[in-house]
Amino acid sequence: MPDDLNWAIGGEAGDGIDSTGKIFAQALSRAGRHVFTSKDFASRIRGGYTAYKIRSATDRVESVVDRLDILVALTERTIDENLDELHDDSVIIYDGERTEMEDIEIPGDMTGLSVPLQRLAEEAGGAIMQNIVALGAACEVTNFPIENLDSALEKKFGAKGESIVDNNKEAARKGQEFVADEFDHEFDYDLDTTDNDYVLLNGDQAIGMGAIAAGCRFYAGYPITPATDVMEYLTGRIEQFGGEVVQAEDELSAINMALGAARAGARSMTATSGPGIDLMTETFGLVATSETPLVIADVMRSGPSTGMPTKQEQGDLNMTLYGGHGEIPRFVVAPTNVAECFQKTVEAFNLAEKYQTPVFLLADLSMAVTEQTFEPETFDMDAVEIDRGKIVDDDEVEAWTDERDRFQPHFSTADGISPRALPGTENAAHMSTGLEHNALGRRTEDTDVRIEQVDKRNRKVQTAQEEEDWSPREYGNPDSNNLVISWGSNEGAMREALDYLEEDDIDVRFLSVPYIFPRPDLSDDIESADEVIVVECNANGQFADVLEHDALTRVKRVNKYNGVRFKADELAEEIKQKLQSEEVKA
């Protein structure tokens, strides 16, 4: 049986849950297994329930499911918190020697393995390694070669010295041996290993990596969950490539610094989440009217206001699509998985410079904090192409000057894209402003010039609409009359849901859309289907709204807004019910 493993470790925040989970995830990935992680975490530093979950298989895994096979419970509450996902064959590893765990009740037919985690850890050199003992125990239960754990421990603790590594290896062995000696072997797990060398990373890290690959040299930000990882990733790395990360005093400053760097010619970005994107809104219009290339990442979390900072939501779509006063030409790109966070970041920089516009990179918490395995080639640095757009050098300036030899940074061209002279270019000194301006960049209230400039800026979007490929990705049965559409991180769960639906003889055509604006025209697809369902993690269906508007039709919606991402099996069930339901509510 199961090669598909759902494992979790849960306890109090501060118990080292995260790093323990990461070590196991790494061990699995180093053994050539695919890994998909998720986190339950509360918005506090110590205390409060927290868990790290891993799904792992030799085939690719793209989502979480409602099933937990092995649970390392450091607290009793961990079992209660996961009751819904535990099943009769689940194994719970806990430390029955600890007084607070003595009277623990293992629910239903589940198997409880009482392993003296703390005592064995002390024997190996310190109680702090109790989680590692538990990992050793998990290796035994799953028939997973413990040597793979060794290599992850080396990576994690190598810098701290050999003896720390050895103690941890020893702790793991003790856990493994205890289970082997004390319990009859009736676990039917068999975790295969392969020769594959995967890399394991999360969406925020992939965004940071994409930024460096794309030549981004300047990042200004202000810490906020769940976007902070982007900044932490870039700090210490971007410097190696001649760049700089600045922790600004607030988001207003962050986006304006990034804008300044972009005007100086650097590829520049900022990243934030809901409350921060609100503050940045003021500057969206300035970026657009001064025609400055800028990448603004919004890693969405649950709102409004401070909302649920550590929970999933896709509630900022309208904000990035419509945020800011006046009408602001912009692009909104929404990666659908961790690897795409890398690719779409590279693309965002090219779009920004090619069209001299703000580009919003709309990611979400589930993707940002999810670690996922990939073939290293997925992050193909050789394939990275840099398109800096219409930058003019000293010799080209003259072609863009007016009769008085003044450079025209906002010259109204046929495609709407104007020449761009970086500061330092000779004879091209010019100003740019958030005020409406003429081709020279100077303020105007001339009605004709106003219209010309607004049209020019909008024309850039039209040009992009025609020149770039905004297609969605398609899965499932292309001839099905049931059409499901989603955006962002729902793609993985939905792809797997297709399998569940197929088991129930329900066939579905699934379109995953990574572009919100410009977006693919799905009107024909929507019209030709009998049933159309739009899946998103928000209450009101913001993407469903725009699709209904595009196609002038009503679609059914599957929405989730409890703060947790979609799970494949749950999603399949919801879609099944929607397909059978009569009414379509707007």
Restricting to residues 549-578, which ones interact with other proteins according to CB under 8 A? Answer: none
Q: How far apart are CA 341 and CA 327, in angstroms?
A: 27
Q: Shortest gap between Cβ of 213 and other proteins (angstroms)?
A: 4
Q: For other proteins, which residue of 320, 425, 438, 482 counts as binding (CB under 8 A)?
A: 425
Is residue 446 a contact point for other proteins (CB under 8 A)? no
Tell me whether the omega of the peptide bond preceding residue 514 falls within 30 degrees of 0, making it cis: no
Site string for other proteins, 141-170 (x = CB under 8 A): ------------------------------
Q: How far apart are CA 520 and CA 21, in angstroms?
A: 39
8 A C-beta contact, residue 31 and residue 43: no
Which range in 4-12, 223-231, 247-255, 498-506 contacts other proteins by CB under 8 A?
247-255
Is residue 249 a contact point for other proteins (CB under 8 A)? yes
Q: For other proteins, which residue of 32, 389, 434, 563 counts as binding (CB under 8 A)?
A: 434
Residue type present at position 38 = S
Is residue 201 a contact point for other proteins (CB under 8 A)? yes
Nearer to other proteins, 427 or 540 (CB): 427
Nearer to other proteins, 65 or 201 (CB): 201
Nearer to other proteins, 261 or 332 (CB): 261
Matching residue, tokens 């609100």: 278
Nearer to other proteins, 261 or 532 (CB): 261
8 A C-beta contact, residue 217 and residue 244: yes
Distance between first and last Cα of the chain = 44
Q: In what order do the strands lie in the sheet with 358-364?
A: 244-247, 216-221, 267-272, 294-300, 358-364, 331-333, 515-517
Q: For other proteins, which residue of 253, 273, 366, 486 counts as binding (CB under 8 A)?
A: 253
Nearer to other proteins, 9 or 259 (CB): 259
Q: Which residues pair with 144 in a beta bridge?
A: none
CA angle 236, 240, 245 (to 5 degrees): 50
Which range in 99-107, 431-439, 457-465, 518-526 contacts other proteins by CB under 8 A?
431-439
Q: For other proteins, which residue of 60, 390, 430, 459 counts as binding (CB under 8 A)?
A: 430
Which range in 15-23, 64-72, 215-223, 296-304 contacts other proteins by CB under 8 A?
215-223
Is residue 381 a contact point for other proteins (CB under 8 A)? yes
Is residue 282 a contact point for other proteins (CB under 8 A)? yes
Is residue 67 a contact point for other proteins (CB under 8 A)? no
Tell me whether the omega of the peptide bond preceding residue 304 falls within 30 degrees of 0, making it cis: yes
Q: Shortest gap between Cβ of 106 and other proteins (angstroms)?
A: 37
Residue 150 belongs to what H/E stretch?
Answer: helix 147-157
Q: Which two tokens stand for residue 295?
A: 């990448």
Q: How far is CA 415 from CA 276, 336, 419, 520, 579, in A?
A: 33, 30, 11, 20, 44
Q: Which two tokens stand for residue 560?
A: 């989730």
Nearer to other proteins, 100 or 385 (CB): 385
Nearer to other proteins, 60 or 119 (CB): 60
Nearer to other proteins, 132 or 280 (CB): 280
Under rule CB under 8 A, how many of the chain's residues touch other proteins? 71
Q: For other proteins, which residue of 265, 274, 309, 514 counts as binding (CB under 8 A)?
A: 265
Nearer to other proteins, 108 or 423 (CB): 423
Q: Shortest gap between Cβ of 419 and other proteins (angstroms)?
A: 14
Is residue 354 a contact point for other proteins (CB under 8 A)? no
Q: How far apart are CA 444 and CA 262, in angstroms?
A: 24
Matching residue, tokens 């419970």: 73
Q: For other proteins, which residue of 143, 163, 306, 433 counts as binding (CB under 8 A)?
A: 433
Q: Which two tokens stand for residue 53?
A: 């979950």
Nearer to other proteins, 9 or 255 (CB): 255
DSSP 443: B
8 A C-beta contact, residue 247 and residue 223: yes
8 A C-beta contact, residue 494 and residue 510: yes
Region 391-420 residues binding other proteins, contact defined as CB under 8 A: 404, 406
Q: How far apart are CA 497 and CA 502, in angstroms?
A: 8
Nearer to other proteins, 282 or 550 (CB): 282
Q: How far is CA 303 from CA 316, 491, 530, in A?
A: 8, 22, 34
Q: Shortest gap between Cβ of 220 and other proteins (angstroms)?
A: 7
